[in-house]
Amino acid sequence: MSDTRTPMPFSLGLTLDRAIARYRAHALEYMAIAAIMQLPIALTLIITHGTTDQIFASGMRFTSLNDVLRMIVMLICVTFAIHATIIFAQAAITQRAIHIAQAQKPTFAQSFVQIFRHPLRISILSLISFIIHIISLIGCMIIVFYFIVDEIMLFSSQPEHTRLLTGVFLLALYLAMFVVQARVILALPIAIAEQIGVRASINRSWQLTAGAWVPAYLCGAIIVLLYSFCIFAPSLVLGSRWQNFLGLLLIRTILLIICLPIMGLIRLQLYEHQRTRREGDDLAARMAQVGYVGKG
């Protein structure tokens, strides 16, 4: 008897469904990890009593170039700190999910030790991810201003062909970041699951997402939307009527604790799916299912 089944093609709905199922099975564990990882950044924001909203507001009162640059540096540092915390939390959740899938039950402390055994690796991946997101965001904003309100651009007085070439270059840069963002989305779960370095993780992610960058980007877009919802939704919904810093921070933290596990599990589920399709990672299980037992 032979098994002629092939791995199921990518389905965004199925990927999300499996990620949510894994989340529901161990929701308290994953949320506890997310809460522990969110505590340092929350305490830091409380102590400094600074938010990105306040930095923007104070920036409106700056008049000198140095003040503006200082505001930009502060904003970048705060944003990167939040982003790095998100990535570390996803790494810890990914590690825990892998342990559960392998029927291992280490303590929380042991799971965290494995993550922080190579903190530089996760930090570099956080920085790379942050840079890609920033370039994509800036590129998107420039393109919008270029094509919609191009009269305010500095190069609006340039000849038409120069402006056209500039627009093409900006669009190409944004599309390149669009693809790169999708191709490196698996670097984090790969670094955790396969215990390899940053460069090897990125190369491996590039390999596994070859020909599948659209599904990878869709998963990445959902992760970004969840992250944006947690960060900006409280201010958008309550900001104009409720200017309570601690209250907004509490709501953001609760939303992140709820959403962070699904963000990490989506990456892990996509990684497992691509590895199965490209490398037959489920080959042994399928052979055992049809009764084949290898020698030795």
The domain limits of the chain are 12-280
What value does the mean pLDDT of the chain take? 76
Measure the CA–CA gap between 265 and 259, rounded to whole angstroms.
Answer: 10
Tell whether the torsion through CA atoms of 24, 30, 34 and 35 is positive or negative.
positive
pLDDT at 4: 43
- pLDDT higher than 80, residue 155: no
pLDDT for 296 equals 39
pLDDT at residue number 214:
82
User: Could you tell me how far CA 37 lies from the centroid of its own chain?
Assistant: 15
Mean pLDDT, residues 127-146 taken together: 75
pLDDT at 258: 94
Q: What's the length of the chain? A: 296
What's the CA gap between 296 and 280, in Å, rounded?
21
pLDDT-derived band at 204, boundaries 50, 70, 90: very high
Backbone phi, psi, residue 246, to 5°: -65, -35
> 37 or 147: which carries more pLDDT confidence?
37
pLDDT at 145: 62
For residues 49-76, average pLDDT: 61
Instruction: For residue 65, give both structure tokens.
Output: 């170039």
The single residue listed with the structure tokens 């909203």 is 53
Q: Pick the residue with more confidence: 13 or 242?
A: 13
Confidence of residue 160 (pLDDT cuts 50, 70, 90): low
